[in-house]
Amino acid sequence: MKHMKIFLIGIAVVCLLLAAAGPSRAEVIKIALSLAMSGPTSDAGQPYAKGVEDFFKYVNEEKLLGKDTIDCTIRDDQYKNDVTKRNFEEFLDMGIPIYLNYSTGSTLALKRDFEEEKIPTLPASFHRGNVEDSNYIFLPIASYSEQCIGLAEYIARHFDGGKAKVALFIHPSAFGRGPVADLEKAMAAGLNIEIVETVEHGTDLDSTATLQRLMSKGVQFVIAQTVQSPVATFLNDAERLGIIAQTFGEKDKITFMGAHYTGGTDLIALAGSAAENFFWTTSYRLTSVPGVGTEAQLALAERYGRDDKTANSHNYTNGIMVAQVAFEAIRRCKAKGNPVNRVNLTAELNQMNGLNAFYPVTTVGPVTYSATDRAGVDSLQLYRVQDGQWHAVDAPFRSEYMRKVE
């Protein structure tokens, strides 16, 4: 387990400081997470919950807070906003100083509650609307808008056939629709692509008619902002029609791309060979790309007996990383001798920038927040499926046009 020690920088120093402070009463810091462990998106929620659970277990077992421990309550909300709200109200009665939420819908629905309670909140949703008019919601990584605009920028830079014709394939919700207006703003600011059509998918098990229509309109690229299952259906039908590009921007074919929740190992499992040459972006490191982050994640999963599917899931990574950020804010409070409460944790998150940026090994860039910047990791990594595995494409990057539309 030697690689577990690399999760956090400076832990030994903090433990020495805590020891030097002399004997004190052990504190139990309560944290809570509400998410979909059943129902829609539970395929993402289950590994996410395991990532949160495992990292906090590791913190407690390794005594990374000295005598103090973290008690994280995790509850299923079935992706239902009313259940999430009920969970949140019960969590408040437990005295939590920081909260971990999940869906776009529930984050938006509870935004005013977070403001009234003045409680720092880390959601699993990267919807940019979460942070508008909010002082307490902190996105773990770059927003869906930034991810989609980053993909569109890659198209504009690398497609040599003139102005690329792009279709958007989106979830029929705020989660899916969020990036559309920002992409349009980026185009108005000079991003050289054309959005031919925006498709909100339903529950259809056959996308043939939609794909044939896109082909008739000359669509060369599809950017997906949804979850893996409909993307897999789309890809399988596209493979059957023989229209999936085998190289980027291949003539008379479609190159498929997607944001965070469209990809990962689950997409390859669902789409099989149809996932080949799919381009995908996220801020998380993948276990198919060797490195320190991969070693640490696999070691954590092994330590707690997780199966290979969980161990290699980017949603397991996501859960680990959110727990890391919450822990780091707590650690910094303790290192300064400050009480671990909502005010101090919010202050620590807002100061997490510059020389105080947080560098988890689970992401391709540092976590940075401020009073005016609520997106944690600004860097994105482009990945591509080749020979049934995700491979990194070029170095991590930041969206140029996102700065122009914010």
Q: Domains of the chain: which residue ranges?
A: 2-142+289-373, 144-282+381-405
pLDDT for residue 343: 98
Question: pTM of the predicted model, to two decimals?
Answer: 0.92
Q: What is the pLDDT of residue 25?
A: 84
Which residues partner with 195 through β-bridges?
Answer: 166
Q: Which residues of the chain have pLDDT under 50?
A: 2, 5-6, 8-23
Longest dimension (CA), the chain: 73
Q: Is 144-282+381-405 the same fold as 2-142+289-373? A: yes
**Amino acid identity for residue 35 in this structure:** L
* Beta strands per DSSP E along 107-234: 121-122, 139-141, 164-170, 193-200, 221-225
| pLDDT score at 15 | 47
Q: 200 with 239: CB under 8 angstroms?
A: no
Superfamily of domain 144-282+381-405: Response regulator (3.40.50.2300)
- Contact indicator for 298, 311 with CB cutoff of 8 Å: yes
Alpha helices in 36-166 (DSSP H): 42-61, 81-93, 104-109, 111-117, 144-158
- Comparing CA positions, the residue from 374, 365, 367, 375 lying closest to residue 396 is 365
Q: In whole angstroms, what is the distance from residue 59 CA to residue 243 CA?
A: 48
Number of CB atoms found within 10 A of residue 101's CB: 26
State whether residue 128 is helix, strand or coil.
helix
What is the CATH class of 2-142+289-373?
alpha beta
What is the spatial distance between Cα 293 and Cα 286, in angstroms, rounded to a whole number? 8
Q: How far apart are CA 225 and CA 213, in angstroms?
A: 19
Q: Supply the Cα-derived Rg of the chain in whole angstroms.
A: 21
Give the SS3 label for residue 382: strand
